[in-house]
Amino acid sequence: LSGEEGLTKAQLQKACSVNYRVKNPNFMEGSEVVVKSLKDAKDTEKFIVGWREHFVATVDPQHMPTGWRVDNPVVCGSRKDGDAYDGVKTW
């Protein structure tokens, strides 16, 4: 079409019926990409501390739980009894 021609109703209806969404078989959710990039507990801890730093710098929270710090130990997993794990309460 040139800039001077208008679209017909039939052309518009045909354009509306085009399947423009094509499933990408290689698509991965962002969260899946992040999790796959974490190779071990050390990588996971680095990611968590980095995320905390980003959170504090971006949000500038004014009301955080008592004792919360960016560099608090990272405890992966949970314990049903909620007892301290190396001096840190699990969530």
CA-to-CA dists, residue 50 to 15, 31, 46, 74, 81, angstroms = 46, 16, 6, 12, 29
List, in sequence order, the alpha helices (H) in 1-91. 9-16, 30-37, 41-59
Q: Encode the chain (91 residues) as per-residue pLDDT tens digits.
A: 566 778 899 999 999 998 888 899 999 999 999 999 999 888 999 999 999 999 999 999 999 999 999 989 887 655 555 555 455 544 4
Q: Would the pTM of this model clear 0.85, i.e. be above it?
A: no
The answer to whether 34 and 47 have CB atoms below 8 angstroms apart is: yes
